[in-house]
Amino acid sequence: MDVTLLKELQQARLDKRQVVLATNLTNGSNNLLYPFENKNKTPILDEARTALNTDKPREIETEDGTLFLNIFNPPLRLFVVGAVHIAQKLAPIAAAAAYDVTVIDPRRSFGSEFRFPGINLDDRWPDEALAELAPDRRSAIVTLTHDAKLDDPALEAALNTDVFYIGALGSNRTNAKRHQRLDKKGFTAGDMERIHGPVGLDIGAQSPAEIAISIMAEMTATLRGKDLP
Amino acid sequence: MNQQLEQADRDDVLANALEWKEAGKSVALATVIQTWGSAPRPTGSQLAVDDSGNMVGSVSGGCVEGAVIQEALALMPEGGHKTLEFGVSNDEAWEVGLACGGKIRVYVEALN
């Protein structure tokens, strides 16, 4: 591969563009495709779009030889509502799993750089922040504040998107009360089912780090389409 | 926590490949292009190697990296590309293969 092409690929990744590296396995040539910025309909672009959409690279036959389409989707995103102790553990664990993490909390003493060095912080109200950050099907949202004033607007915003995972901290009792409030707002039983609450896999987690691990595990299982007991 | 985040960046294959290349080293990239059975790393997984044998990323669970690095180092002087195949390992010691019983194809290319 030519180093200038690698530079362009790396820049595209930093700019969070959806990019495909097409490598001709027969003659060794490479080029970059931006299938969602290029509206042309060609068999190769169509294959590249499918590869990005399914998050799976693919090999295709063309008249010039065999092409390997490697995909570079922007990182998955995690929005954590509530810059609480668990968030301090969840943010770096999710970052290690290659998520782009944003912690949302309008309470400045919680969402401080001191508590979250190197993590994106957003001090707007969750509904306002999420409206602009536009979570999509490659995003997860976890609410951790325990405070309905902050959690509910975030959950309502989350339910109006197609994020792959929604988790809400709180006991079964808290969760039942939350369901009642959302029900009054017109959300359906199907909507409620999208909310993982109590959040996380039941691994007996106690400390903030252990709870963060249980959340990360449940998020991963959901992402990978694994049925959980 | 900063350290942990930096640690996460430490395994960015392409970033490291670029950094090495810009520092004047010879670099090769290896990519898993096909898998069968219980292959340890999915298609698209990458590994970068420099001319002193530093590596970042992975194409397996550590089973075939050694062999891939040898092939990568062999490619560096002349440039070019090569497709390698690794299958189920047998019981012979030092045999390069996947202990997990899978089979993978790895494409190796020099950076020029």
Query: Helices (DSSP H) in chain B: which residue ranges?
Result: 2-9, 13-22, 65-75
In tens, the pLDDT along B44-89 reads 999 999 999 999 999 988 888 999 999 999 999 999 999 999 886 6
User: Are the CB atoms for A57 and A25 separated by under 8 Å?
Assistant: no
Of B21, B31, B34, Cβ closest to residue A70: B31
Chain A interface includes B85 (CB < 8 A)? no
The tens-digit pLDDT sequence of chain A (229 residues) is 999 999 999 999 999 999 999 999 999 999 999 999 988 899 999 999 999 999 999 999 999 999 999 999 999 999 999 999 999 999 999 999 999 999 999 999 999 999 999 899 999 999 999 999 999 999 999 999 999 999 999 999 999 999 999 999 999 999 999 999 999 999 999 999 999 999 999 999 999 999 999 999 999 999 999 987 6
Task: Using alpha carbons, list the distances in angstroms from residue B41 to A124, B60, B100, B110.
Answer: 40, 5, 11, 21
By CB atoms closer than 10 A (0-12, 13-18, 19+), residue A185 is exposed
User: Are the CB atoms for A39 and A7 separated by under 8 Å?
Assistant: no
Chain A residues in contact with B75 by the CB 8 A cut-off are none
- Give the residue on B whose Cα is nearest the Cα of A21: B44
Query: Helices (DSSP H) in chain A: which residue ranges?
Result: 3-14, 43-54, 85-96, 126-133, 148-159, 172-184, 189-194, 208-223
Tell me the shortest Cα–Cα distance from B44 to chain A, in angstroms: 6
Task: Using alpha carbons, list the distances in angstroms from residue A143 to A42, A80, A139, A166, A167.
Answer: 43, 6, 13, 8, 6
The verdict on a CB contact (< 8 Å) between A1 and B109 is yes
- Distance in angstroms (rounded) separating the CA atoms of residues B31 and B105: 8
Average pLDDT of chain B, as a whole number: 84
Amino acid, res. B106:
V
User: Are the CB atoms for A144 and A89 separated by under 8 Å?
Assistant: no
Could you name the CATH architecture of A77-223?
A: 3-Layer(aba) Sandwich (3.40)
A65-72 sheet: strands from edge to edge: A30-33, A19-24, A65-72, A58-62
Chain A interface includes B54 (CB < 8 A)? no
φ/ψ (deg, to 5) at A55:
60, 30
Tell me the shortest Cα–Cα distance from A114 to chain B, in angstroms: 10
Chain A interface includes B36 (CB < 8 A)? no
- Give the residue on B whose Cα is nearest the Cα of A89: B1
Residue spans of the domains in chain A: they are 3-72, 77-223
DSSP state of B89: -
pTM, whole model, 2 decimals?
0.86
- Distance in angstroms (rounded) separating the CA atoms of residues A184 and B87: 58
φ/ψ (deg, to 5) at B59:
-120, -5
